[in-house]
A and B are shown apart, each in its own frame.
Chain A
Amino acid sequence: QQQVRQSPQSLTVWEGETAILNCSYENSAFDYFPWYQQFPGEGPALLISILSVSNKKEDGRFTIFFNKREKKLSLHIADSQPGDSATYFCAATNQGGSAKLIFGEGTKLTVSS
Chain B
Amino acid sequence: GALVYQYPRRTICKSGTSMRMECQAVGFQATSVAWYRQSPQKTFELIALSTVNSAIKYEQNFTQEKFPISHPNLSFSSMTVLNAYLEDRGLYLCGARQGAETLYFGSGTRLTVL
Contacts and interface: CB of A to CB of B under 8 A. Distances in A.
Interface stretch (A16-24, A53-61, A73-81, A94-102): A94-102
Interface in A27-58: 34, 36, 41-46, 49
A96 B100 CA distance: 7
Contact of A34 (B43, B93, B100, B102): B102
Contacts of B82: none
Nearest to A108: B42
Contact of A99 (B34, B91, B107): B34
Q: Binding site of B, secondary structure by majority: helix, strand, loop or mixed? A: strand
Given A105-B42, A106-B42, A99 B105 contact: no
Contact of A43 (B100, B102, B108): B108
B75 to A, nearest CB: 16
Contact of B105 (A44, A98, A106): A44
A43 B107 contact: yes
Interface string B92-114: 01010100101111111010000
B42 A100 contact: no
A45 B104 CA distance: 7
Contacts of B95: 99, 101
A89 B100 CA distance: 20
B100 to A, nearest CB: 5
A41 B42 CA distance: 11
Interface of B: 4, 6, 32-34, 42-44, 46, 49, 51, 57, 91, 93, 95, 97, 100, 102-108, 110
26 contacts: A34-B102, A34-B103, A41-B110, A42-B108, A43-B6, A43-B91, A43-B105, A44-B105, A46-B103, A46-B104, A46-B105, A49-B102, A98-B51, A98-B57, A99-B32, A99-B34, A99-B49, A99-B51, A99-B95, A99-B103, A100-B46, A101-B46, A101-B95, A101-B103, A105-B42, A105-B43
Interface of A: 34, 36, 41-46, 49, 87, 89, 95-96, 98-101, 103, 105-106
